[in-house]
Amino acid sequence: MNQLLRQGLVAAQGPLAGGGIKDVSCVAGGCIHQAWQLQLDDGRSLFAKTGGLDVLAMLSVEAEGLRALKAWADPEFLEVPEPLAVEQVCGESILLLPWLELRGGKEDGLGRGLALLHQASAAAHPGRFGWQTDGFIGAGAQPGGWREGWGDCFVSLRLIPQLKQAKHWGLDLEDWKPILSRLISWLDRHQPIPSMVHGDLWSGNASVLRDGRGVLLDPAIWWADREVDLAMTRLFGGFSKDFYAAYNEVWPLPVDSIERIEIYNLYHLLNHANLFGGSYKKQSEASLRRLTSLIG
């Protein structure tokens, strides 16, 4: 973190005005932002994400998502960090969060906490699927909007935008429209209740605190079938048996939920193919072919 930004944080108009920064340490970050631990003079530790001015919208959406998840989380089992500031400082964008001591390990608190979050939000759902504003899924765009039916929402707001982008590397939306039309009615027969979902729940966006409670980070929230979160936990390393057992103790998944895992994860494979290319292209194509076989 450069000296100008450090000074701007504690300046009269800065988010840490009146305080002081004792030390700054670089910590592992993603491919979009830099990440830091700030040690303040008053003994507090903060986590900071920084980037250029162009990432302020992304950091603002992240802060909105964290606040929305925190509103439904049971703090006995699940911690969601409360955004302290998200703004531009000295020509850079910054998001400040409390520093959390993560230890990993047994994930039963995480599984129970996620189930309770899904359950609590479903009990007060808005009666439709989607989200009011455009957001991000990683560095990719996640369109906002609302749909009354779950099938229409998932296909029109998630799969179709990704398939349109995929044209530049060889997929043609027109080739897949017949199966997408059938997928809408196939998903509608499932009739899920809208739940607030994390939306990007791979193992890098969740952890466990020293006291055993789960932690959710870097969300891509929307009102959706809760199974989209559980499906994504199967990608990119997966979660432990403790996690799934604890989740199902609170709110068991339907027996046929396994049939929808690949459909829901197709969204993330397409997003990765559009962002990174490589083997994600072949994985997306293979998933589409299997979808054709499943739906007919």
Residues 163 and 254 grouped into a single domain: yes
How long a stretch of residues is the chain?
296
Question: Could you read off the pLDDT of 228-274 as tens digits, one per residue?
Answer: 999 999 998 789 999 999 999 999 999 999 999 999 999 999 999 99
DSSP 6: H
Residue 143 inside a domain? The answer is: yes
Instruction: Scan for tokens 């009011």, then name that residue.
Output: 132
Listed residue (185, 179, 192) closest to 151, CA to CA: 185
Residues 32 and 54 grouped into a single domain: yes
User: What gap in Å lies between CA 147 and CA 47, rounded to an integer?
Assistant: 36
Residues 80 and 177 grouped into a single domain: no
How buried is 66 (Cβ within 10 angstroms: 0-12 exposed, 13-18 middle, 19+ buried)? buried
Residues 207 and 70 grouped into a single domain: no
Number of domains the chain contains:
2
Residue 45 inside a domain? The answer is: yes
Question: Could you read off the pLDDT of 192-235 as tens digits, one per residue?
Answer: 999 999 999 999 999 999 999 999 999 999 999 999 999 999 99
Question: Could you read off the pLDDT of 21-36 as tens digits, one per residue?
Answer: 999 999 876 667 789 9
Q: What is the CATH number of the domain that holds 59?
A: 3.30.200.20
Residue 93 inside a domain? The answer is: yes
Q: Residue 117, by phi and psi: left (phi above 0), alpha (psi -120 to 50) or beta?
A: alpha
CB atoms within 10 A of CB 190: 15
pLDDT value, residue 30: 60
Residue 103 inside a domain? The answer is: no
pTM: 0.95
Q: What is the CATH number of the domain that holds 154?
A: 3.90.1200.10
Residues 113 and 93 grouped into a single domain: no
pLDDT value, residue 237: 79
Cβ atoms 24, 34 nearer than 8 A: no
pLDDT value, residue 19: 87
Residue 244 inside a domain? The answer is: yes
Q: Which of 98, 128, 152 is the last residue of a domain?
A: 98
Q: Which of 71, 98, 125 is the last residue of a domain?
A: 98
pLDDT value, residue 7: 85
H or E element that contains 92? strand 92-98
Active site residues: 200
- Averaged pLDDT for residues 282-295: 92
Residues 254 and 168 grouped into a single domain: yes
Residue 235 inside a domain? The answer is: yes
pLDDT value, residue 29: 62
User: What gap in Å lies between CA 63 and CA 57, rounded to an integer?
Assistant: 10
Q: What is the domain range of residue 269?
A: 108-295
Q: Which of 98, 131, 146 is the last residue of a domain?
A: 98
Residue 163 inside a domain? The answer is: yes
Q: What percent of the chain has pLDDT over 90?
A: 84
H or E element that contains 223? strand 222-224
